[in-house]
Chain A
Amino acid sequence: MNSPVNTPAPQHEGLISAEERPASGAWLAKAHTDAAARLTQMGLPKRRDEYWKWTRPDALLAEQAAPAAAFDYGDEQPVFHAVDRLKIVFVDGVFDAEASDDLSGEGLEIERLAEAAKADIHWASGLYGALETRGHNPVDRPLAAHNSAMATDGVLIRATGQVSRPVSVMYRHISDTSDAILHHVVKVEEGASLTLLENGTAAARLSMVTEIDVADGASFHHVRAQGRDHGRHVLTHIFARLGRESVFKSFTMAVNGMLTRNECVIEILGDDAIAHVAGAALGDGADGAFLHDDTVFVTHDAVNCESRQVFKKVLKNGATGIFQGKILVKAGAQKTDGYQKSQSLLLDEDAQFLAKPELEIYADDVACSHGSTSGAIDEEALFYLRSRGVPERIATDLLVLAFLADTIEEIEDADIADDIVSRLEAWLERHRG
């Protein structure tokens, strides 16, 4: 990722030298410098890092992005097509003003990072790199610090009221060799609400960090579809901080992809808050290598909060699914309701699922549970459906969708959920047999 790892600059001790850091306005320049220092202190992920034992970081660290062809969607309308939304378009990781809508809406401020960086003071300066800094827990996430140090593009979104139209960030991947770094900051002010939609692959290789501050009584809904590219290498980090009585819900659909690692770090700081994070990933190794990794860390540091992690993977033909998830309940975080479920459906014997579910609890009055399973299609159910005349392939699809159903339930908007389901159905239909 534009990584200078292999080209050490002798005059500096850091991993990223001052020259290599992007030029930008005062507050962002400082944020870049600070992040570079964090990265230097942490060092890059190493082979022996427990945290990278299943997903090898090599492709993410390589000096150059492995070329990856952009998926050709043909006449197909992309997901969220029918949703009335405010569109923000990035092409190969660069903001495209012409393709984007006017960046304004009621109760909403949106700026391009590159523009906002010119200001001396900015609301985002207190968040950019700050939530990432808090998120190096229970492990360092050096590639997130790398992103904070290098990012020059992204959007800063501030919701000050009930924003009815979703903000939709569309990532277009055109160049086979694009290597993108994007960094977004989202602030949902007290009592405000915002829906963020994201779709597309963005680049051959992508590092994306999204820092999300959900203030007291605010709500944030996020639905993401990571595109259909086969050759992509994608690393995303969400760092979220939740205030009192706030709601955070994030759902990600991922299909295809040589390497996709989605990290989500949520810190619940206010009482009575709700955090749900869900993902549905589908991979068929027959399309090329497939590896999907969900790495999630939820910290409860307040009373009477609820967190849910629901991750499902459908894997076949050598596809690999990974889940590393942890709930940390700090001392004093009483009445915590923490729930974690990671399951995979292996459609054949070649696919594999690796899971590391963890709970760490320092409060006594809590209800936490976790479960991780992997299994095949239920033969009894399959026969029952077939005995009613449903052909095997359709019956299998029905059962796969049923398996994914509780991730879909985390999508608030029914039309958007239907849209996502129809994409999943279409994927299954294309990958039958």
Chain B
Amino acid sequence: MLSIKGLEVKLEDEDKQILKGVDLEVPAGKVHAIMGPNGSGKSTLSYVLSGRDGYEVTAGSATLDGEDLLDLDPEERAAAGLFLAFQYPVEIPGVGNMTFLRTAVNAQRKARGEDEMSAADFLKFIRAKAKDLKIDADMLKRPVNVGFSGGEKKRNEILQMAMLEPKMCILDETDSGLDVDAMKLVSEGVNALRAEGRSFLVITHYQRLLDHIKPDVVHIMARGRIVKTGGPELALEVENNGYADILAELDA
């Protein structure tokens, strides 16, 4: 599904290399987790994959089902099935959450040559999804993320994911800021989406999220590279020992 090969990325305006040759394969239907110290490049990877400005790819490739992602505009990547749940969801005053989601759903459908969803169908659809995530009607009417609590913002990200039904979902620290109940809710939301044709890349610092969303594979990212890959037990190891050993190995 997602295939990243030797990806090197620097900042556009600065001579600062952030990703230094990332190799990562996430097969269809799998859940991969990425852990790693602060500043190791996890969010940068997710932004570069989704097409944010400000970065320059200096080497390597990233494809989604064989399609070169790096050549596409952000909206084209979304239409191709990529979704990023932001570490810091953006507040957009003046744009209603509902209007935003409807515009997004219909834009993606249009890009794929499908019919737009009728207002009534959309309403039914969003109400059902919102109910699962315990997002009340009021939050749907409010401007996108404005005045939302940290946890509400994260739930709103998962609502968007549920509405857009992407095939490759990247979750960047979706667990941060969530209380125990919300974490469960969000994980259930994610698990409900797990399907054969859908893959997940879950960026997190904590084992706790991975108790709920069980990963098939865990990667450790450090200093702009995937430095270690293993099974779910790797997350436990990090939880218990931190990154010291792994970093020491790198230095050796």
Contact = CB atoms under 8 A, between A and B. Distances in A.
A379 interface: yes
A387 interface: yes
Contacts of A389: 75, 78-79, 104-105, 107-108, 111, 164
B73 A392 contact: yes
B90 interface: yes
Nearest to B163: A388
Contacts of A380: 90
Contacts of B79: 389
A387 B95 contact: no
A398 B74 contact: no
Interface size class of chain B, counting residues whose CB lies under 8 Å from the partner chain: 20 to 34
Interface size class of chain A, counting residues whose CB lies under 8 Å from the partner chain: 20 to 34
A391 B92 CA distance: 16
Q: What is the interface of chain A mostly: helix, strand, loop, or mixed?
A: helix
A392 B107 CA distance: 11
Interface in A377-403: 378-381, 383-392, 394-395, 398-399, 401-403
A399 B100 CA distance: 10
Nearest to A384: B90
A386 B95 contact: no
- Of A389, A390, A399, A406, most buried by chain B (CB within 10 Å of CB) is A389
A378 B50 CA distance: 18
Given A392-B75, A398-B100, A387 B92 contact: no
A388 B100 contact: yes
Given A383-B52, A384-B86, A390 B103 contact: yes
Interface string B48-73: 00111100000000000000000001
A384 B90 CA distance: 7
Contacts of B92: 378, 381, 384-385, 399, 402
B90 A391 contact: no
A386 B90 contact: no
A171 to B, nearest CB: 31
Nearest to B84: A387
A109 B228 CA distance: 84
Interface string B18-58: 00000000000000000000000000000000111100000
Nearest to B89: A384
A376 interface: no
A99 B93 CA distance: 43
Contact of A394 (B89, B101, B107): B107
A401 B100 CA distance: 12
B164 to A, nearest CB: 7
- Of A388, A390, A402, A405, most buried by chain B (CB within 10 Å of CB) is A388
A402 B78 contact: no
Contact of A401 (B83, B94, B104, B144): B94
B207 interface: no
Nearest to A379: B53
Nearest to B111: A389
Contacts of B111: 389, 391
B90 A405 contact: no
Contacts of B73: 386, 391-392
Contacts of B90: 380-381, 383-384
Nearest to A380: B90
Nearest to A408: B94
Contact of B94 (A385, A386, A392, A402): A402
A394 B94 contact: no
Contacts of B204: none
A381 B100 CA distance: 12
Contacts of A378: 92
B160 interface: yes
A387 B82 CA distance: 8
B82 to A, nearest CB: 8
A233 B95 CA distance: 34
Nearest to A401: B94
Nearest to A395: B75
B107 A391 contact: yes
Contacts of B160: 388
B76 to A, nearest CB: 9
Nearest to B166: A389
B159 to A, nearest CB: 11
Interface in B139-179: 143-144, 160, 164
Contacts of A395: 75
A381 B94 CA distance: 11
A388 B93 contact: no
Contacts of A388: 78, 83, 100-101, 104, 160, 164
Interface in A100-157: none
A401 B96 CA distance: 11
A404 B84 CA distance: 29
Contacts of A383: 51-53, 74, 90
Contacts of A387: 50-52, 74-75, 77-78, 83-84, 86
A386 B78 contact: yes
A378 B144 CA distance: 14
B95 A390 contact: no
A329 to B, nearest CB: 29
Q: What 9 A-B pairs are tightest by C-beta distance, nearest first?
A: A402-B94, A389-B78, A386-B74, A389-B108, A388-B104, A384-B90, A405-B94, A402-B95, A386-B75
19 contacts: A384-B86, A384-B92, A384-B144, A385-B92, A386-B73, A386-B78, A387-B83, A387-B84, A388-B101, A389-B75, A389-B104, A389-B107, A389-B108, A389-B164, A390-B103, A398-B95, A399-B94, A402-B93, A402-B143
Interface of A: 378-381, 383-392, 394-395, 398-399, 401-406
Given A389-B107, A405-B94, 13 more contacts: A380-B90, A383-B51, A386-B78, A387-B86, A389-B104, A389-B105, A390-B107, A392-B73, A394-B103, A398-B95, A402-B92, A402-B94, A405-B93
